[in-house]
Amino acid sequence: MAIATRLRPVPAPGTPAPDRPTFLSPKQLAELFGVPPESVYQWRRKRTGPPGFRIGRHLRYDLAVVLSWVAEQTQNTGAA
C-alpha cells in the first residue's frame, strides 16, 4: 500500500511533467508567439530572438529562458 501512495499520475503524451523543464521546437515557439516559423529562424540567424540550443540536429528552446527573455524585452521597451 505504501508504494501506491508514492506513485504520481503519468501525464498525457505531450503534457510536460511539472518537475521537468519544457523545451520547445521552433514550430512550437512560433505558435507561442503567433508568428510564422520562418520568423523564429530569422531571429536565430540575426541573434535577435530568444536563445536556442541544439540537441544533435534538433533546435530547441527552453521555455523558462524564453519567458525570461520576453520579460527582459518588455522591460527594455517600457511596455506593460
Please check whether residue 25 is in contact with residue 58, taking contact to mean a CB–CB distance below 8 angstroms: yes
Whether residue 29 is contained in a domain is answered as: yes
Whether residue 1 is contained in a domain is answered as: no
Q: How far apart are CA 75 and CA 72, in angstroms?
A: 5
pLDDT band (50, 70, 90) for residue 70: very high
Per-residue confidence (pLDDT) for residue 16, from 0 to 100: 60
Per-residue confidence (pLDDT) for residue 79, from 0 to 100: 59
> 59: domain CATH number?
1.10.10.10
pLDDT in tens, 1-56: 455 555 555 556 666 666 677 999 999 999 999 999 999 999 999 999 999 999 99
Q: What backbone torsions phi and psi does residue 29 show, to the nearest 5 degrees?
A: -65, -40
Whether residue 62 is contained in a domain is answered as: yes
**CB-neighbour burial class of residue 78 (10 A; exposed 0-12, middle 13-18, buried 19+):** exposed
Whether residue 58 is contained in a domain is answered as: yes
Q: In what order do the strands lie in the sheet with 58-62?
A: 23-24, 58-62, 53-55
pLDDT band (50, 70, 90) for residue 80: low
Number of domains in the chain: 1
Residue ranges making up the domain that contains 43: 22-77
Bridge partners, residue 59, by sequence = 54
